[in-house]
A and B are shown apart, each in its own frame.
Chain A
Amino acid sequence: MSDFKLTATSLTYAIGSSMLVDHVDIEAVPGQVVAILGPNGAGKSTLLALLSGELTPRSGTVSYSTANVADMSNADRSLQRAMFSQRIPVDVPFTARAVVELGRFPHRHDRSLSPQQDKTIVDDALAITDTTQFGDRIYSTLSGGERTRVALARVLAQDTPLVLLDEPTTALDVYHRERVMNIIRTSADNGRTIVAVLHDLNAAAAYANTIVVMADGKVKATGSVDEVLEPELLSDVYKQPMAVIEHPLRPGKLVLTDDRPRPPR
């Protein structure tokens, strides 16, 4: 797992004449959490779909280590990357545990794994996401925050070097957001490569190694938290005055929005 590398080179994706992703380069290695930030419509989710192989780029390539994703089969991709999206239908009739067990589906032909090892991986995924206690409950009866954690456990049970997450903390309260971000950070520390689309700038500031800021399909800035979280850049990209200060409780930066009422422009 440690020699994995995600490389995207000059990725471009367009629908008709509108460029949704415009010559984007991204790299990520094990241990890293790469946060993709940017306003709505910046092309973040499209970029993630390109990185997952779900969409095929108009030009440019995505590689997992040395393999070109466009040439891989769907089954091979599912052994290399897991994708978290908020798109599991709410009415799934399975128990939470059964949903997590489906994360083992890509490994069903792997004869080197005993059923006991599969079970341990599922148990661990439930434990890490703190969902063991409602393993027997039906997925559709869980709350939004619980469903998110079960979906995250499903992604972890897939046991892939690369994990892509599309807005994993959306619709979560402060407590659950911090828990989910902690799980993501820990998975990276354990050797996974993580790319996450986030809307929460401070979650990115606290947990990411690398931040990619996108707008209009282009990368506006890439770098460490300190390099990228600059008030001028953020104010420009989000079209809203922003300030960046030292966080009073932890080392690092805190992004503030200048949200004083002002007349509409």
Chain B
Amino acid sequence: MTTDTTRRTRPGDPFRGRRRLTWVALTGLVFVSFGLAIGTGTVPIPMSDALGVIASHFGLGELPDGAANAVVWNIRMPRWLLGFTVGAALGIVGAVLQGSLRNELADPHLLGIGPGAAIGAALGASAGGTRGAIAGGVFAGVLTAFALRRLASGPTIDPTRIILLGAALSLALGAWVGFVVFGSDRGSVPPLEFWLLGSLSAATWSTATTTAVFVTLSTAGLFMMSKTLDVLALGEREASYLGVDTHLVGTVLLIVSGAIVGVTVGAVGVVAFVGLVVPLLIRKGVGPSFRHVLPAAVVGGGVFVLLADVAARSIINPVEIPVGLVTAAVGGPVFLWLIARKSNV
């Protein structure tokens, strides 16, 4: 009785119950995906040994025998960190773009930012290895975002126009990645399938931590924009009446998105459908307010890519397939289902 009345006097949040469930599910998936990421691979290592290795690196207990340490600490852990970070980055960028452009098709890769970044990353890789790839990815990602903004320029940002331009850009730039890869030295640049389908197999601590630091900082910046993103949902004019400099904010969000996506592409190539599907699913779970959407999209994107990577390692054992194949194979149907269901409401 008392709980009933308190619930009724609390103002307006029909999503609270579902939000709690969503966070319980996401927390569970964080642990499951961690266990699978650490425990899956060609070398069978018992979970207790794997956890023992990790604990020993934090000063807890003795280091188990050398093979387990090499595999778990030097291969699987950086791969776990990189996978989570890349997924988190793509999840939050997708949420930000879908929100600021008010369109469910606003995905960094469908907008051409991913393929654009891949051109720069491939060029960077031929000049300076992984570091070069990340630097080139950021540069080209920002450049592509800026070009997109310029191409769509007008007194207001027309979301439909940006998405049409982005789709054309995406196809054209995707082809140009091929020219760069085939035109450069085979040994120094990863193959085309790495850039266009993505892979976490080359993960190192250095790549993973660089990516993680960059993504953490920019994610924190985006969290501070959550109220502004809410206001943008009212449309550009209303947001402007409420004091938002919509032109500036739209440009900044697009360019920050370009930088974040550029880092992920430099590190692992283009991983499709994460930025498209994760925000849509998350909004169903936590409601439309960006204060809730952004953190949930970070975690949701992270676990999605980790689980997809585990599948990519084990579906056709011992052959490892690109992680982007799995995210697209799973994400595509989920996206279709979400959109088809929506039109029937």
Which positions 86-105 of chain A face chain B at CB distance < 8 Å?
87-89, 92-99, 102-103, 105
Chain A nearest CB: distance from B304 CB in Å? 22
On chain B, the residues within 8 Å of A106 by CB distance are 242-243
A to B CB contacts below 8 Å, 8 in the list: A76-B243, A79-B243, A83-B241, A89-B234, A92-B233, A94-B288, A97-B12, A99-B234
Give the CA-CA distance A178 to B223 in the complex, in Å: 43
0/1 interface trace, chain A 18-55, chain B, CB 8 Å (1 if under): 00000000000000000000000000000000001010
0/1 interface trace, chain B 279-295, chain A, CB 8 Å (1 if under): 00001000111000000
Count of CB-CB pairs between chains A and B under 8 Å: 76
0/1 interface trace, chain A 99-128, chain B, CB 8 Å (1 if under): 100110110100000000001000100000
Please give the number of chain B residues whose Cβ is less than 8 angstroms from any Cβ of chain A in the complex. 24
Give the CA-CA distance A96 to B234 in the complex, in Å: 12
> Do most interface residues of chain B lie in helix, strand or loop, or is the interface mixed?
loop
Chain A nearest CB: distance from B292 CB in Å? 11
Give the CA-CA distance A22 to B228 in the complex, in Å: 36
On chain A, the residues within 8 Å of B241 by CB distance are 52, 54, 78, 82-83, 85
A136 at the interface (CB under 8 A from B): yes
In the complex, the answer to whether A102 meets B12 with C-beta atoms within 8 Å is no
Give the CA-CA distance A123 to B11 in the complex, in Å: 10
0/1 interface trace, chain B 307-335, chain A, CB 8 Å (1 if under): 00000000000000000000000000000
Which positions 238-267 of chain B face chain A at CB distance < 8 Å?
238, 240-245
On chain B, the residues within 8 Å of A75 by CB distance are 243, 245
On chain B, the residues within 8 Å of A88 by CB distance are 234-235, 238
Please give the number of chain A residues whose Cβ is less than 8 angstroms from any Cβ of chain B in the complex. 34
On chain A, the residues within 8 Å of B12 by CB distance are 95-98, 135-136
On chain A, the residues within 8 Å of B102 by CB distance are 89
- Given contacts A78-B243, A108-B227, A135-B12, are A87 and B238 in contact (CB under 8 A)? yes
- The list of the 3 closest CB pairs from A to B, nearest first, reads A78-B243, A97-B12, A93-B288
A59 at the interface (CB under 8 A from B): no
On chain B, the residues within 8 Å of A97 by CB distance are 11-12
In the complex, the answer to whether B243 meets A77 with C-beta atoms within 8 Å is yes
- Given contacts A88-B234, A97-B12, are A102 and B242 in contact (CB under 8 A)? yes
Which of A54, A94, A96, A105 is B227 in contact with, Cβ under 8 Å? A105
Give the CA-CA distance A113 to B235 in the complex, in Å: 27
A158 at the interface (CB under 8 A from B): yes
Give the CA-CA distance A77 to B240 in the complex, in Å: 10
Chain B nearest CB: distance from A140 CB in Å? 10
Chain B nearest CB: distance from A134 CB in Å? 10
Which of B11, B240, B289 is A94 in contact with, Cβ under 8 Å? B289
